[in-house]
Every structure is written in structure tokens, then in C-alpha cells.
Amino acid sequence: MTSADDLISLVRDYNPKTNEQRLRDAFAFGEEMHEGQFRHSGEPYFTHPVAVAAILTEQRLDDATIITALLHDTIEDTKANFEEVSSRFGEEVAMLVDGVTKLTNLQLSSRETKQAENFRKLFMAMSKDLRVILVKLADRLHNMRTIRAMRPEKQAQKARETMDIYAPLAGRMGMQWMREELEDLAFKVLNPEGRQSIIRRFVTLQRETGDVIHRITGDMRLELEKAGIEAEVFGRAKKPYSIWRKMQEKDQGFSRLSDIYGFRVITRSEEDCYRTLGTIHQRWRAVPGRFKDYISQPKSNGYRSIHTTVSGRDGKRVEVQIRTRQMHDVAESGVAAHWSYRDGVRTENPFAVDPAKWIASLTEQFDGEDDHDEFLEAVKLEMYSDQVFCFTPKGDVIKLPKGATPIDFAYAIHTRIGHACVGAKVDGIRVPLWTRLRNGQSVEVITAEGQTPQVSWLEIATTGKARTAIRRALREADRERFVKLGHELARSAFEHVNKKATDKALETAARALRVSDVTELLARLGAAVITAHDVVQAVYPELTDKEGDEVSPRRAVIGLEPGQKFERASCCEPLPGERIIGITSRGQGVVVHSADCDRLGEFEDQMDRWVDVHWHSGTHPAVYGVTLELTIGNDAGVLGRICTLIGEKKANISNLEFKDRKPDFYRLMINVELRDVEQLHSLILMLEAESDVAAVARHRETPGTQLRTI
């Protein structure tokens, strides 16, 4: 645990005029009050308040805030009361400690309390003195750093609360470093596999490309020296959660992300900021649409900086932030910069925002507001970056999630408008329907009579309302086609068990499956909501495979003559679930090929040998061999881990052959026995996600070798 002398030394570094005795008294009082109390980890409880105080010294905060951190749990968890704290350390400290206590007791993660009410309470508590929330954020940061000592369910609750409330709040206050660390610590609890995957890929990237940060930082310093600009240059890789969020937002894999590195240039003056921007743009190509000037248009929390993204070494995109030292101090501390001390006096930073005015601007409009949902909407407009607010031509505001398109905008107005949408204008300019909308844009939806939703809209729409409406409309439009298809599927399925799909049989199936009528049954069958096997089994359970039974390999293919045998072609190794074509062999058996097999071209002039076959729709055993071609890292344990992953997918390895051995990679062929094409796709996706797998593909023979016959 940090001692009283160590803590005082941390404060003295930025505030030589600190009242050391007052800090020492607070340390002793807190230690006395928490004596005999222990954390979940088994450590003395007072180690926590001391750690919170140490975090706040990094923000160079005043003595009152540091003392509040040391005592923030005394009123709640010990025999100390408000009057005693006030008499010993003054009313200012007592009010701050009481404020933190009340904030702790809000039960922000309670399921019974609406999120809007949580935010209302938070802002009301903050409105008296913003230092209350600074202590609470530091308290949450230390708790997240030591969260592993808690029960798993408690960890998940605290992590979700941190991700939903405290991390966005820290970001809104301008304390971006704290937001990033809180998000990453919560991410580590909520999705440890995802975070570890990002870290593994970073390690692989660094192994492949070397120290990119060092090289680019050196290049920037050299260019600035040539231009006669004195500046500090720092580079870093972005946090795992930040990269994960970009992957989700852009729907891209790690390898396709570009701006995973960030660089900061700290200059001596505002003029040098713009000179630096020009120098960087002369040396590297700027990426269109990725420039923001927060110096001329600062954020409401005082943040000032120039942001630009350029194509750096090897075409890699890097984000560059340019600002002065004073701007940097505000960027690091946010609203907390108002209390920062340097050399014993309050820092006179012209960019620091008056916290009273800042919090007043957020709360005054909500005083007396009865509609909590409207309160939440207004707060989220201020706090969250994952929302965009656009305007109709009449000036009405439409709230949408970040990444929303004109299709989402149209459905947000009315389902009828969405169905009839044929185009859109954004700020008066015609744009494609897949355009991503931004805050403050004016959107005009162009409609046409007779227009109906298109299947491609499902790829464009992002809101649940739009996607649900589109799917419903598509189902209704396709209903007639689904009914016809369902009728054919039912006929074929019943014929397979030597029965007819009569009206009476279908009515019986509809009743058994609790479907309203035969038409609805056929529509669901055609839309693949239910299977033909389900329909037949509902009428003739004794003639169908029992649920969970596997199809016998001998009758896995339907369409063969009685007694006729089949064999899978070795060239394409077709799997259940794929479209197949049969070719009769000299021995009157049938060789089954995938419908897209290149070898089928050899039989174009022998159409009498072609047989119309398809796979049985039931569950197949995992006996169908498929060859996978993999390129994997030549590191200890990699091959064993790959084999373990394949086994976890319930696939059996029947053969393994090395094709190429390099110092850093192996190329090998693995023959695995699978159930169907769905299992194959699942296996390939899992292997592609493994950081040590450079490439994986299904191997098929090319034309030119002898066809296997039976």
C-alpha cells in the first residue's frame, strides 16, 4: 500500500504549497476508520481509498479532492459521520464525501430503475460540485483494475455498468484516457476471448511489420525539424476495445482495419499547429473526409485539437492529433483541468472549461422535466457519440444510431414512407441509399407509388424497426411464391415415403404443427421456417427418421434407382447441403459431383449419363471426407492447437500431409470427416479467426487427373 509519505510526495510534485499535515491527518483518520475491514482480495480495505487518491494526483487535483478520496467511504462504511468529518476537515470536504456516498448509493445498475432516471440522478449529484464525480470515476477505475477478486456475476454487472455509464461519462468530461481504460477493463470482463484475439493479432502484426510506431514517429520528427517546428511527437497503438468497436462499426476484420495507430504532435503555439498540419499533408497523403478542426470549433468540454488521417508507411493509415501543451493538458484532464495545480498555484489554462457553467448547461433544461425518456434523449445527445440527429425538410429531428442510412431515416418517419422510398437527398444533394448519415444533416426522402422493399435493403438498413418492416414486407410479397415452393417440397417429401400430399394430409400436418391453415403451412415450408421432414413426420411419424437419428450413408442420396450405389467424386468431395449432380459409371453406379465441379464439363456431350439427385434432408453422420489446405505459423504448439480446434468442432482428422515447410510457415493438407457443408463453413470460419492461421481454403482437384469410377 502507498504510504502517507509516498502520497504526500505525489501531491508535492505538482503542488509544493500543499498542506502536508492536513493530508497526513486525513490518511491517519481513514486508516483508523477502516481498521479491521478487508477487500474481496483479502487486502486491508484502506488500500482502496489510498489508490483512488493516488489516481487523482495524476490529474494534479487540489487538496480537498485528494482528502475526499481518502475518506470517500468513511461515512458509508464506518462509524464516522458527516459532523465528525466536517469538524476535522472542514465543510467543503464533508460535502464532497457526502456527495460521493450518495452517488454510490444510487444503484445505477438496478434493473428496476430506468436508465433515464439513472442519468437524471447522476447529473443532479454532479451539479453541486463536479469533483464528486471525479472521485467516483477514480473509485470505479481502481475497482475495475482489481475486479478479478469479485464473483463472476458481480464482475459482469460492474463491467456492464462501467461500459454503459461511467466510461461514456468520463469521455464526455474530456478524460479520454480514463474512458479508454475503463472500456478496456470492462471489455476484458465482458468479452475476454474477443480482447485476447485482438492482442494476438497485434503481436502477429508487430512480428510481421516491426516497430511501425517508432519508424513513423521518427519520420514525423524529421519532417518537423526540416520545417523548423519545435514539437514533441508521440505514437501508440489503439486500445483493444477501440479496435473491436471499429471492427463492429465497419463490419471489417482486423486485417482490413487501417487506422489502428494514433500519433500526437504537441507544439509550442497555435500557429505551429497549423504549420505542422501543412507539413504532414505535404509529406503524406491526407485521407478525404477524415479531417476535423477542434481548435477553431472546440468541444463543449474545452477539448481543442486538429485531427487528420494520412496514409503513412506502406500505405497504412494513421491518425494524427495536433495541439499545444495547454490544449493537451485539457485533452488529458478534460473538465478536471479547472482544478489542476502546477507549482503550488491553480493552473491558469485559458482552454479549461468552468465546470459550473458546463454542468449547468446540461442540467438547467431538465429541471422540473417530468418525462424521463425525453431527459435521456437530451442527455444522450450531449454524452454519446453513437447517435446521430438528422432533420426532415420541415425541421423535425429524427434520432438514429451511428451508421444509419436514408433507409433507416425513411422508416423512422413512417413505415409507409420506408416502403415507398426510391432515393434520398442529403443537404439538397442526391445520394445513394447506403450513405451513412452524420449529425445535423437535412434528409429528404424521395418516394414513388408502386415501390416495394428490396432484399438488398436488409444489407443497408441498421435499425431494428427498418429491418423488421423490410422483412415483413418481403415475406408478404413472397408469400405466393413460398406457397408454390412449399407445395412442391411437400409433394416430394411425401413421395419419398410413398405417400401423397393430399389436402387431408396437409390439414393434419397443419393441426399437428399448430399452424392456422394449409396455406400458412406451405408458406412456412417454402420460406424454410419449417422443414419438409417436419411436415411428413407430423402425419407419418413411423415412416420418418426419429428426431436426432442420423441418415444412413447408404441412402444419403435421393434420386438413385433401387439397388443403385453412389460414391462421392474425389475431385470436388461434395457434402450434404450442397447441390449435386450424379454421373453414371461403367459399373452402373453413380459418382456424385458438386454442381459447380469443373469436371462436369467433361460430360457435356454425354447427357444420358447425368442423373438428377439431391442429398437427404435429414441429419447426416460425420463420415464425409473433405480436404482443407492450411498455411499456419511455424511456432511451437501451433499444429497441436489447430488439431484441438478441429476436434472441438466434432470433426475427425483422417489424414494430414505437409506440402511445404518454410522457416516461418507450414503449408499442409488436412483431411477431415464432416457432417455437412454447414459444419465445413463453421470450421473454416473458426480457423480463419485463429491468429496463427495465415490462410485456410477447401482443396479441390483441378481437371487433368483420372476420374475415379466404381
Domain ranges for the chain, please list them: 4-190, 194-346, 386-462, 471-543, 553-710
Q: pLDDT at residue 74 above 70?
A: yes
**How confident is the prediction for the chain on average, in pLDDT?**
81
- Residues whose CB is less than 8 angstroms from the CB of residue 499 and which lie 6 or more positions away in sequence, other chains included: 505, 536, 539, 540, 543
Q: pLDDT at residue 494 above 80?
A: yes
Please state, in angstroms and as integers, the Cα–Cα distance from residue 36 to each residue in 4, 27, 31, 45, 104, following that order. Answer: 19, 16, 10, 8, 22
Residue 488 one-letter amino acid: E
CA 497 – CA 474 distance, rounded (Å): 33
Q: pLDDT at residue 704 above 70?
A: no
Contact 334, 301 (CB under 8 A): yes
Q: pLDDT at residue 528 above 80?
A: no
Q: Residue 106 has what pLDDT?
A: 62
Q: pLDDT at residue 138 above 60?
A: yes
Residue 389 CB neighbour total at 10 angstroms: 16
Q: Specify the long-range contacts of residues 207-212, CB closer than 8 Å, at least 24 apart.
A: 209/314, 212/261, 212/313, 212/316
Pick the range with the lowest mean pLDDT from 206-215, 222-231, 261-270, 451-460. 206-215
Written in H, E and C, the secondary structure of 102-165 is: HHHCCCCCCCCCCHHHHHHHHHHHHHHCCHHHHHHHHHHHHHHHCHHHCCHHHHHHHHHHHHHH
CATH for 553-710? 3.30.70.260
Topology (CATH) of 386-462: Ubiquitin-like (UB roll) (3.10.20)
CATH for 4-190? 1.10.3210.10
- Kindly state the cell numbers that stand for 700: 479441390
Pairing status of strand 590-594 against strand 614-615: unpaired
Q: Residue 22 has what pLDDT?
A: 93
Q: What are the φ/ψ torsions at residue 10 (nearest 5 degrees)?
A: -65, -40
Pick the range with the lowest mean pLDDT from 235-249, 362-376, 494-508, 612-626. 362-376
- Which of the following CATH numbers is that of domain 194-346: 3.40.50.150, 3.90.550.10, 3.30.420.10, 3.30.460.10? 3.30.460.10
Higher pLDDT, 132 or 658: 132
How confident is the model over 649-678, as pLDDT tens digits?
A: 877 776 777 777 776 788 888 888 888 898
Residue 99 CB neighbour total at 10 angstroms: 22
Higher pLDDT, 315 or 266: 266
Q: What angle do CA 442, 396, 458 make, to 5 degrees?
A: 65
Q: pLDDT at residue 258 above 60?
A: no
CA 682 – CA 679 distance, rounded (Å): 5
Q: Catalytic annotation on 449?
A: no
Catalytic residue among 25, 43, 76, 567: 76
pLDDT band per the 50, 70, 90 thresholds, residue 705:
very low
Q: pLDDT at residue 98 above 90?
A: no
Q: Catalytic annotation on 332?
A: no
Catalytic residue among 20, 77, 184, 520: 77
